[in-house]
Amino acid sequence: MAFKLPELPYAVNSLEPFFDEKTMMIHHGKHHAGYTNKLNAAIAGTSLEKLSIKGILKNAGKHGAGVRNNGGGFFNHSLFWKILSPKGGGKPKGSSNFGKAFNRSFKSFEDFKTQFSTAAQTRFGSGWAWLCVNKSGGLFVTSTPNQDNPLMDVADKKGTPILGLDVWEHAYYLKYQNKRPDYVQAFFNLINWDQVNANYEAALVSNKKENSIKSTSSKNSKLMKSTAKKATAKKPKAKKATAKRKPTAKKKVAKKATAKKATAKKKPTAKKATTRKTTAKKSTAKKATAKRKPAAKKKTTAKKTTAKKSTAKKKTTAKKTTAKRKPVAKKKSTAKKTTARKTTAKRKPARKKVSLRRSAAKKK
Ligand code: MN3
């Protein structure tokens, strides 16, 4: 989809005497038209053709200079013309959502004017000054170089611009020459605060949409993770849980398991005994301390898993013993421990089933 140069929402000479007709004609008819045409040329035949201008700008830093500069130029001027009006000037209405946010964000209108003027006048070279909405609906002033804007991934301070001032020399040189501060002061006579108010409301709506998309995607990723856990084997899970603290221990256990499979049943018994002792020690340790408990459980679980592979009934007994102790520990434990135990608890029944099946098979 090709972007289209928007019409000026007023006569080209109607911003006189603040913005002169000739400057406006060139600025809109040549500069803005140029950005629009070059943007369309830069995205022609690419996947960017399917995106909105905001969709393009949010990754502007990845699309190359042609898209970044001309996409910014297209968007920035489209916003700029709309927030100007021959009937502009004055101050925001304090009763609107925007007015309230304005009063919360700035000590006074003069405070805003000072911040905005400073941003516009101190932007070195070419660029823009902005009034933006942050994610919590507050307002802030910032500036960007060239045709960048705060929607872009490359912006120092990101937000949704609702008011902007072009401080490129092409915006003022014919009338103001080197006197950028005079041009900035003239701008305050043209600000269409009703449009800025509408831009603010639109920014709140898009903030809400983004938040709901983010929360939905985070819910989805949680669901996907839990589904993935269910789908995968129990052994990998035990490894994941144990991973950070006892990688070394696991490796040893794995080696032992291999050895056990190859050799007699006495070894599993020895393990079980060790497991019981370990569990007893651990539960004692749990009562006395705190953070070690979840870790201890994980170790026990991993060992059990290994033990299960080789035998059946003895392990089951060991598990039951361990299971009975854990609830006692749980009462004393904190929320984290409870969560860890739940995770452990869910696995245990499943393993038991497997163990039962195996033991049934063995009986047969
Ligand atoms: Mn310009």
Superfamily of domain 21-211: Iron/manganese superoxide dismutase, C-terminal domain (3.55.40.20)
- Which percentage of the chain shows pLDDT scores above 70? 59
pLDDT interval class at 215 (50, 70, 90): confident
Output the pTM of the full model. Answer: 0.62
Task: Locate 31 and state its tokens.
Answer: 């500069």
Beta bridge partners of 176: none
Cβ atoms of residues 162 and 203 within 8 Å: yes
- Output the CA torsion 64→70→76→78 (10° steps): -140
In the chain, what are the domain boundaries?
21-211, 233-363
Q: How far apart are CA 85 and CA 58, in angstroms?
A: 28
Residue 79 pLDDT more than 90?
A: yes
- Å from CA of 101 to ligand 1 middle: 28
Where would I find the beta strands (DSSP E) of 167-232? none
Neighbours of 104 (CB within 10 A): 10
- Å from CA of 147 to ligand 1 middle: 8
pLDDT interval class at 119 (50, 70, 90): very high
- Å from CA of 139 to ligand 1 middle: 24
pLDDT interval class at 154 (50, 70, 90): very high
- Å from CA of 6 to ligand 1 middle: 14
pLDDT of 96 reads 95
pLDDT tens profile 322-362: 444 444 444 444 444 434 444 444 444 444 444 444 444 44
- Output the CA torsion 293→297→300→301 (10° steps): -170
DSSP 8-state code for residue 8? P
- Å from CA of 168 to ligand 1 middle: 6
Lowest-confidence segment of 18-22, 27-31, 214-218, 269-273 by average pLDDT = 269-273
DSSP 8-state code for residue 165? E
Q: What is the pLDDT of the chain when averaged over all its residues? A: 75
Residue 41 pLDDT more than 90?
A: yes
- Å from CA of 45 to ligand 1 middle: 27
pLDDT of 59 reads 98
- Å from CA of 258 to ligand 1 middle: 73
More confident residue, 217 or 256: 217
